[in-house]
Amino acid sequence: MPFTYQRTVRFQDTDAAGVAYFANILSMCHEAYEASLGAAGINLNQFFCYPRIAIPITHSTIDFMRPLFCGDDIKIYTTPKQIKDGEFEVAYEIYVIEVVDRGVKEVQESCAARAFTKHVCIDSAARVRTFIPDEVMKWLVKWGDANQIAAMETDLLL
């Protein structure tokens, strides 16, 4: 089940054309990532400021389906997935929330963008790859893809 993060596109997120600047969309995705870590019980200060294991982003990509404007209310659905022992990716789906009045008010969501970030775990002191920390594994289980989680649990039982 993905983590859901809500926010409003702010003026500071937009460019001279009045649409959200592409790099700011990735920043919004990172906000959602941070919120999902916190919601899983991870201490963000220790995670980002004093880590034994650092988890840098090694790749990111974003595809846009429609522009985002100042004042748009959005939801970012965040779904992490383990790739290897020391790597995971996070998929983000950014939806605009609109209230449509056709005699009856309805809330509609339309996909504005999809993004991915790939993360690698490294030992902070030795600067070499290492395994995903236990607290991050718990986060993967909490917010990850249910099919992948079932496979991970089966592997643990074997």
Query: HSE-up of 82 (CA within 13 Å, CB side)?
Result: 22
**What is the average per-residue pLDDT within 34-49?**
92
In angstroms, the CA 63 to CA 95 distance is 13
Lowest mean pLDDT among 33-42, 48-57, 63-72: 48-57
**Residue 56: other Cβ atoms inside 10 A:** 9
Q: What's the confidence (pLDDT) of residue 33?
A: 98
Domain boundaries, position 62: 3-157
Residues 55-97: tens digit of each pLDDT: 999 999 999 999 999 999 999 999 999 999 999 999 999 999 9
Which pTM value belongs to this model? 0.87
**What is the average per-residue pLDDT within 109-126?**
96
Question: Which of 15, 73, 101, 134 does the annotation list as catalytic?
Answer: 15
Q: What's the confidence (pLDDT) of residue 90?
A: 98
Number of domains composing the chain: 1
Q: What's the confidence (pLDDT) of residue 50?
A: 76
15 is an active site residue: yes
Query: HSE-up of 12 (CA within 13 Å, CB side)?
Result: 2
Which CATH number is 18's domain given?
3.10.129.10
